[in-house]
Chains A and B, each alone.
Chain A
């Protein structure tokens, strides 16, 4: 090791880069399965909602028989849901145990509880006589809105601005789609949703560094042990 004035900064720069690379790589490895999951959901939305958009009596461009459109949509959702469940089960085997496991488990259950709860909610509304033209707007909106809210919570839990932004985008997509109304909302879900998810997946893959709270530059050696991070794009 050298603390020679000439050599030290170059050495320090190399070590700093090594540290940053390892930070990104660690984050990327830890969330790789979620990056895949987002891609699967992007594909499921892209194909599923496009099928609905082309469904006779459903979307704006009647090409496919309604039954075919619904079957394609349902198949896409089932594949994505099964993939989600498998991802959830596998996340329990990341080799990490301890305090953060409960946090992850509770958050995982939030998804299941919200999605199953939403399904019961829609069944209840249907029993109460929900009109078909409202139902077509409400069903996708409710689920995607919940996804958005869960991303907000996840972003807050793991201090991930990117995840938080994805949540905001999801909620914005729902509002835009619902205001535009049927059948155009299917086209919005088929395009904007997947684009947002692909961007999110790419960011996870690259390795998002959690946002750090800015700390003032230390004034004395006594503060040296305090965490001090520099703002970096996540």
Chain B
């Protein structure tokens, strides 16, 4: 029970999940470049970690077009939100409620 979810328990992925939870309401999506700006991550790094989160079903991405330009939208799934909350609770428990 005090096991931290390994999908989230990596600095880059924790930051991605935190930013998505914070910036998006249910039913919102954010473009890849805007998310990259929120995180100050390289595109390659962000792509790699998003792929891991997507494989776990925590985020989903939609590819679409804005005019002729391809745009990728990223959203956090309900499963992802729940996993993040669990991760946070577990973290707080590990810290013994000192925070």
Residue contact A15 to B11, C-beta cutoff 8 Å: yes
Residue contact B18 to A22, C-beta cutoff 8 Å: yes
The reply to whether the CB of B43 lies closer than 8 angstroms to some CB of chain A is: no
Which residues on the B side are within 8 Å of A98 (C-beta)? 24-25, 27-29, 75
**Which residue of A12, A103, A227 is within 8 Å of B95 (Cβ)?**
A12
Centre residue among B11, B23, B73 by max chain A CB count within 10 A:
B23
The reply to whether the CB of B56 lies closer than 8 angstroms to some CB of chain A is: no
The reply to whether the CB of A106 lies closer than 8 angstroms to some CB of chain B is: no
- The total of Cβ contacts below 8 Å across the A-B interface reads 107
Residue contact A218 to B89, C-beta cutoff 8 Å: yes
Given contacts A1-B9, A30-B23, 6 further A-B contacts (CB under 8 A): A1-B6, A9-B95, A27-B22, A94-B34, A96-B24, A101-B28
Which residues on the B side are within 8 Å of A228 (C-beta)? 85, 88-89, 92
CA distance A13 to B95 in the complex (A): 7
The reply to whether the CB of B70 lies closer than 8 angstroms to some CB of chain A is: no
Residue of A nearest to B83 (CB): A225
CA distance A181 to B98 in the complex (A): 51
CA distance A95 to B34 in the complex (A): 5
**Closest beta carbon of chain B to A24's beta carbon, Å:** 9
Residue contact B97 to A217, C-beta cutoff 8 Å: yes
Per-position 1/0 for A85-107, Cβ under 8 A of B:
00000000011111111010000
Residue of B nearest to A210 (CB): B22
CA distance A228 to B31 in the complex (A): 28
CA distance A16 to B90 in the complex (A): 11
SS class, residues of chain A in contact with chain B: helix
- With an 8 Å Cβ cutoff, the count of chain B residues facing the other chain is 42
**Closest beta carbon of chain B to A50's beta carbon, Å:** 37
A-B pairs with lowest CB-CB distance, top 8: A95-B34, A98-B28, A99-B27, A95-B31, A12-B94, A100-B25, A26-B22, A22-B18
What is B's interface to A at a CB cutoff of 8 Å? 1-4, 6, 9, 11, 14-15, 18-19, 22-31, 33-35, 37-39, 73, 75, 82, 85-86, 88-92, 94-97, 99
Residue contact A97 to B2, C-beta cutoff 8 Å: no
Within 8 A of B (CB), among A202-229: 217-218, 221, 224-228
Residue contact A1 to B4, C-beta cutoff 8 Å: yes
Residue of B nearest to A229 (CB): B88
Residue contact A19 to B2, C-beta cutoff 8 Å: no
14 examples of A-B residue contacts, CB within 8 angstroms? A1-B4, A12-B95, A16-B91, A22-B15, A22-B19, A95-B30, A96-B30, A97-B73, A100-B27, A221-B1, A225-B82, A227-B85, A228-B85, A230-B92
Residue contact A3 to B4, C-beta cutoff 8 Å: yes
Residue contact B88 to A19, C-beta cutoff 8 Å: yes
